[in-house]
Amino acid sequence: MLATGLSIEIKGLSFNYPDGQCGLKDIDLNIAHGESVALVGPNGAGKSTLLLHLNGILRSECSISVCGMKIEERNIREIRKKVGMVFQDPEDQLFSLNVFEDVAFGPLNMGLKEDEVDRRVSLALQKVGMAGYETRSSHHLSIGEKKRVAIATVLSLDPEILALDEPTSSLDPRGRAALTTLLKSLSVTKIIASHDLDLVRLLCNRVVVMDGGRIVADGDSGRILSDHALLEAHGLAV
């Protein structure tokens, strides 16, 4: 547990992409250890851009701390062990010859022994319902299977923070229910960008609404998800 009790501290984060497109504007966000926070908002709101700042894939001048460590070059290896990031597009996550190697990549990089790597890979694949796929080529899997393996690549790291970008997209109903149950059982800090408000309702105690690169609301999930005017104003209710 941190002295501050904070897993994530973001102060005054603004970010423009190289072509000048605004990605984020004046983001202040503190997430306590063990919280489960949803990021919701319409397409282009800035959810993925915000998540990509949490392990330094995107960087800005502003100060971001993860588990009490400021994100900067000398910490980046340590930070990437702490923050397990599942990208919106599983193609961005899978680059090895086969499923085993993709899921083993993180644990091997952490310098773990072969036995422990094998144990973690088996467990992670079992958790996402992909045991038995070890020797399959990740690139020849269905989109939903790729998403499951992408999630396993992060579970095998046993991170302190899970940053998940649309974790249930492309999953079938059984896969979605199993993933929800799995995520609920993990006591780590979770920050989840999702359009799946059922998942948000089941999993997150707090909802942050983004639009136009800004945070426009932040509060208890029950309150935010029952505020129809707010949801409608930000493209979340039909």
Residue ranges that bind Mg ion, judged by CB under 5 A: 47-48, 88
∠ Cα 87 46 173 (to 5°): 50
CB of 141 to Mg ion, least distance (A): 21
Nearer to ligand ATP, 29 or 110 (CB): 29
∠ Cα 34 187 180 (to 5°): 115
Q: Write out the E strands in 41-187.
A: 63-66, 69-70, 83-86, 161-165
d(CA 207, CA 19): 30
Nearer to Mg ion, 34 or 44 (CB): 44
Site of interaction with ligand ATP (CB under 6 A): 17, 19, 21, 23, 41, 43-49, 88
Nearer to ligand ATP, 23 or 107 (CB): 23
Nearer to Mg ion, 156 or 194 (CB): 194
d(CA 178, CA 96): 26
Nearest to 96 by CA among 136, 145, 52: 136
**Binds 44: which of ligand ATP, Mg ion, none (CB < 5-8 Å by kind):** ligand ATP
| Closest residue to Mg ion, based on beta-carbon distance | 48
**Binds 95: which of ligand ATP, Mg ion, none (CB < 5-8 Å by kind):** none
CB of 45 to ligand ATP, least distance (A): 4
